[in-house]
Amino acid sequence: MKKGENLIYKESLALFTDLYELTMAYGYWKMGMHDQEAIFYLSFRKWPFKGGFAIAAGLKPLIDYILDFDFTESDISYLSSLKDNANQPLFETAFLKYLSEMELKCDIDAVEEGTLVFPYEPIIRVRGPILQAQILESVILNIINFQTLIATKSARVSLAASGDQVVEFGMRRAQGIDGAISASRASFIGGCESTSHVLAGKLFDIPVRGTMAHSWVMAFDDELKAFMSFAEVMPHNCIFLIDTYDSLEGTRNAIKAVRGMAKKDFSLLGVRLDSGDLTHLSVEVRKILDQEGYTDAKIMASNELDEYLIGDMKNQGSKVTIWGVGTNLVTSKDQSALDGVYKLSGIQEKGGKWVDRIKISEQTAKVTLPGHLQVRRFYKDGKYVADAIYDEREELDPHLTKVLDENDKREISGNIESKDLLIPIFQKGELVYKFPHLKEIQKRAKEELTMLDTRMKRFINPEPYFVGLDKNLYAKRKSLIESMRQK
């Protein structure tokens, strides 16, 4: 198997899993079921941020994980040390030997990164030996849930900025090293123009931005000297932080510093506000800059920004044109996790016949979908119209029923285009997908959002996009539910 471009971690992460994945894997092996073919799929149930869309992300890190998957000697040694409640080895030696020799042979289909996705739609589909497909559950959920959540948050922030530059500023408050790295990557996919995070810039070829902090200003006897000194050091990278003492006086000192550099090769990119009434201050700072002839100088703002605050500031006439968004973006402060789930939808019997599986629940939202699931997206005149979830073993029936509302039906007819979203990534464990550059993924995300109706991009009470089950899948699901409840 080809090795992954795993630039962050230098060894296998096969133990990056929940213990129950391994105990179930052991159970499949003990029961002689481990090579039985099965299908699992990942989807999420709730609209993130109570919004109208999500942006798929995390596929490339998942690909690298799978390419480098291997139970090392150290992993096996650790697993052999685990005991059950009777103080006996948790796993047999023969099973651990099986793991040490195992190569992943799964087919994996996925929605490409940067694509719009919606609740209940399969984002990842895994088909292969049930032991292997099961053992991938935890890592798939970990990577896809987090990066999809952050890419979606970034897209919302970028929509609020309405074309202004957004810089991801969140590394110092991210959830650990990996959280910071993953968040920077996903934030770029969602629309951030750059990051302050240097390692993310190196790993993913993301533009990096940053100039000074308050400590630089405070290290000098006065603000003017601090600005002039920085201009000496960074003549072409000057965005002065002007709110250490007084923002308007800081603006004037920035201008004095610029004029003190007039005979040298120097350019003032702008000034940054990090406290106070950002809207009011940006207006006053803009007046000073314009009056003094610095009409091209940008005004940057930071300080606990999110899509709601940015939107409000712009509606109030803010003159900010560069937004530094940190904590609320990389920690997804208003929603801690995407509720992605990974469910079994079919298993192959020994004779080769596939049996559809379904989980039922008193909560309608937790009832799963059976079969070999695929998603078809319909579009017309440059806009997405509806998505249909169907079993790809059957021809899609254009009569759709909304996933959680059987009274909401729609028929897809007329001159309309479509595309299937799940595409091959791995076939029998071999990578068949050529991965695009991160900038191409970001471009896809931006183009995808233009295909979504404006009403569905509102932050408050968005119009829900229609996702339905085709007639065949709806009937199959209903029949299985009735059958299970009669047992």
Q: 93-119: per-residue pLDDT in tens?
A: 999 999 999 999 999 999 999 999 999
Six token digits for residue 390: 């169907």
Evaluated on CA atoms 326, 123, 465, 474, the torsion sign reads negative
Rounded Cα distance, 201 and 395, in Å: 45
Six token digits for residue 115: 């694509």
- Residue identified by tokens 């405070």 is 218
Report the relative pairing of strands 165-168 and 194-195 from DSSP bridges: parallel
Q: Which CATH architecture does the domain made up of 151-330 adopt?
A: Alpha-Beta Barrel (3.20)
Six token digits for residue 286: 């803009």
CB 118 within 8 A of CB 53: yes
pLDDT level of residue 249 (50, 70, 90 thresholds): very high
Give which of 210, 384, 225 is closest to 302, Cα–Cα.
Answer: 210
pLDDT level of residue 144 (50, 70, 90 thresholds): very high
User: Does the structure show a pLDDT above 80 at 199?
Assistant: yes
- Residue identified by tokens 């934030």 is 187
Specify the 3-state DSSP secondary structure of 373.
strand
* Residue 1 confidence (pLDDT): 45
Rounded Cα distance, 444 and 435, in Å: 13
How many residues belong to the chain?
Answer: 487
Six token digits for residue 399: 């009569």
Six token digits for residue 2: 């080809």
312 dihedral zone (left: phi>0; alpha: psi -120 to 50; beta): alpha
Give which of 263, 217, 259 is closest to 240, Cα–Cα.
Answer: 217
Six token digits for residue 287: 């007046």
Provide the strand spans (E) within 359-422.
Answer: 373-380, 383-391, 399-402, 405-411, 417-420
User: Does the structure show a pLDDT above 80 at 259?
Assistant: yes
pLDDT 10s digits, 349-396? 988 999 999 998 888 888 999 999 999 999 999 999 999 999 999 999
In this structure, of 231-245, 273-287, 432-446, the range with the lowest mean pLDDT score is: 231-245
**What is the full DSSP assignment across 147-158?**
HHHHHHHHHHHH
Query: For the whole prediction, is pTM greater than 0.85?
Result: yes
* Residue 350 confidence (pLDDT): 86
Mean pLDDT of the 84-89 span:
97
- How many CB atoms lie under 10 A from the CB of residue 475? 13
CB 193 within 8 A of CB 165: yes
Mean pLDDT of the 215-229 span:
96
CB 115 within 8 A of CB 421: yes
Mean pLDDT of the 206-217 span:
95
Give which of 337, 325, 400, 333 is closest to 121, Cα–Cα.
Answer: 400
Domain limits, CATH 3.20.20.70, in the chain: 151-330
Q: What are the strands of the beta sheet with 340-348, ordered from one edge?
A: 354-356, 340-348, 37-44, 124-129, 107-110, 423-427, 430-431
Domain limits, CATH 3.20.140.10, in the chain: 19-148+344-486
User: Does the structure show a pLDDT above 90 at 164?
Assistant: yes
What mean pLDDT value characterizes the chain?
95
CB 125 within 8 A of CB 110: yes
450-457 long-range contacts (CB < 8 A, ≥24 apart) are 450/382, 451/116, 451/379, 451/382, 451/383, 451/384, 452/52, 452/53, 452/116, 452/383, 452/384, 453/383, 453/384, 455/52, 456/52, 456/53, 457/51, 457/52, 457/53, 457/159
* Residue 262 confidence (pLDDT): 62
Across 37-65, b (16+ Cβ under 10 Å) vs e yields bbbbbbbbeebbbebbbbbbbbbbbbbbb
Cα 466 vs. chain centroid, distance in angstroms? 22
Fold of 19-148+344-486: nicotinate phosphoribosyltransferase (3.20.140)
C-alpha separations of 343 from 122, 335, 376 in Å: 10, 23, 20
Rounded Cα distance, 66 and 88, in Å: 31
* Residue 483 confidence (pLDDT): 87
Mean pLDDT of the 39-55 span:
97
pLDDT level of residue 35 (50, 70, 90 thresholds): very high
% the chain with pLDDT above 90: 90
CB 332 within 8 A of CB 320: no
